[in-house]
Structure 1
Amino acid sequence: MSTENALLTILVEKIHNDTLVLPTLPAVALKVRKAADNPDINLSAMADVVSQDPSLSARLVKIANSAYLGRSVKVTSIQQAVTRIGLRQIKNIATALAMEQLFVSKNDIVKGYMSRIWVDTIDIVASSMAVLQIHTNQTKNRALNLDSMMLAALIHNIGVLPILTEAERHADVFANPTFLDVALEKLAGKIGTSIMIEWGFEPEFVDITQNCKDLSVTSDTVSYLDLVRVASALCGKFNNHEEEIFKGAVDIGLIDDLSALLSDEFNELCDNAKQIFL
């Protein structure tokens, strides 16, 4: 058996036996998500939860002052930041900001993969958020929101993490781009779906990890899945299927035409979104 097939066989077997070690959300994200799901939570109590993590607190203050929220009056405290962002949005934004902590490795080859995937993911996040803003401006449809869009794009390829972790554990055998590329392509979607279910995410997020690359899965109305696909195509992640994806986006009314995605406005919106993660 080739090394490539050996890695795939091990991963598939662990998936079937439910023994694949899935990543866990960072503790601060779990705390924020649990607090946000409490119907009795208020802004003050949420600020207390967030303030337990200085790094998250600083980044939320930065977001509250960013072009992402489009506000000119600066906030200086986590209480003010949470108030401006809102209880509904804070759950997804805090989770999104914590995601970067998962993309770490001590193995040079795996670390390289982690770094490249994170950079690519942020490009897709920024593009998807910009596409959503263009869509909202053109159609006045506000059914989808930016904080969920951000998180949806961040988790769309989350299934790569257990694969790379497994490669790191057996680096002498599996930490090789020749077969890591195949494993990531073949298994990331299936594993990502398991992660979303394990983390207790809503069905719309499970749908993205499960069906992002399966273009036979479509919807009649604009969804986060459609936006992630368009953003991925803009970032060159759909080999030879970009035209199909862009045509589908126009057909369902996601955008009027492609010119909006080539505009200075679109580029500015992308840059604003990227600033969140700097």
Structure 2
Amino acid sequence: MSAAESDYSVYRRVVTQFMNGEEQLPSLPTITLDIRRALVNPNTSVLGLTRVISKDPALSALLMKHASSIAFRTTQAPKTLEQVIRLLGMLEVDRVTLVHSLKSLFTLHGVAHRNLFISVWGRMTQQASISAVLARPLGFPSADHALLASLLSDVGELAILSAFKDASQVPSPEVYARLCREYGKSLGIIVLKKWAVDECYIDVVRNAGDWTFTEGRGVCLIDLVNLGRYHALRDEDVHGRLPLLGELAAHRKLVPPLDAQDATGALALVASQQEAIQRMTSSLR
């Protein structure tokens, strides 16, 4: 066994032990669990949910900002948290809460650990923003649903970082990428089941990155996730491993002019929406 393979086996063992010890897996913050319990309780009133969410000032401010955005702009912007919740609805509040929790979920140890997080979070937010911006033009009803599904599709890669408990354990970017390829999906499914998220998000984890997979006739959640992922990975694809856009099952669902490609072989719709994508990406970082 080479030195590199020997080093990899050490990291591999750490991740395997981490996966087998459920108590070690990252848990959602208590406030997030309280909010999710309130959301699934049919007896929860808007006023009751407002009281729960108000315990988290950062989340409250994020919801206020989200509700005042262009996507939800009304003749008069909401001025109270209660008005925000009424405007967004329970499902959107649930999705925004999960996105907020993801960003601050994982403890980082040292510069190398932080750099790995910044790298993977940067790609995750870019692909999620692309998926969200494509949602409405492609006939999907909820941009936030697409955004959250895309973020959760790679939660296993973030969870792998939790396996390394101090700065001396942190793998190199190359080893980390290899661990993600080997364990990202299975660990992501374990974590999402622990969090009791909707099964549709777990299905997305299973099929994200499978360019031949689709379901139904119209554009569905996995199609948006894979289109976002594909375009986020194009800049990193120095070895030409990605298929051509026209080979993606998700692209074959699109009808003219939505299926148009630009000169680089990317979806023209993505190129035309770069400003919106960048705005959304910046808001998530």
Letter in 2 for 1:9: R
- 1:192 equivalent among 166, 185, 188: 188
- 2:276 equivalent among 261, 264, 269: 269
Counterpart of 1:218 in structure 2 is 214
Q: List aligned pairs for 1:59-78, cutoff 5 A.
A: 59-78=62-81
Letter in 2 for 1:241: L
The C-alpha deviation readout for 1:190-211, integer Å capped at 9, x for no partner, is 1001111111111210012222
Counterpart of 1:43 in structure 2 is 46
Letter in 2 for 1:189: K
**How far 1:24 moved relative to its partner?**
0.8
Counterpart of 2:153 in structure 1 is 156
Distance 1:42 1:96, change over 3 A: same
Distance in 2 of aligned mates of 1:78 and 1:111: 33
Do the aligned residues in 2 keep the contact of 1:3 with 1:173 (CA within 8 Å)? Answer: no
Moved over 6 A (4+): none
Do the aligned residues in 1 keep the contact of 2:120 with 2:158 (CA within 8 Å)? Answer: no
Find out whether 1:166 has 2:163 as its counterpart: yes
Counterpart of 2:61 in structure 1 is 58
Do the aligned residues in 1 keep the contact of 2:153 with 2:204 (CA within 8 Å)? Answer: yes
Counterpart of 1:248 in structure 2 is 249
Q: Which has the higher contact order (CA 8 A, sep 6+)?
A: 1
**How far 1:26 moved relative to its partner?**
1.8
Distance 1:245 1:49, change over 3 A: farther
TM-score normalized by structure 2? Answer: 0.84
Q: Number of matched residues?
A: 268
TM-score normalized by structure 1? Answer: 0.86
The C-alpha deviation readout for 1:39-81, integer Å capped at 9, x for no partner, is 1112111111111111111111111101232435222211111
- 1:11 equivalent among 8, 15, 40: 15
Q: Percent identity?
A: 20
SS at match of 2:213: coil
Counterpart of 2:269 in structure 1 is 260
Distance 1:165 1:103, change over 3 A: closer
**RMSD of the alignment, in Å?**
2.4
Give ranges in structure 2 of 5+ residues lacking alignment: 261-266
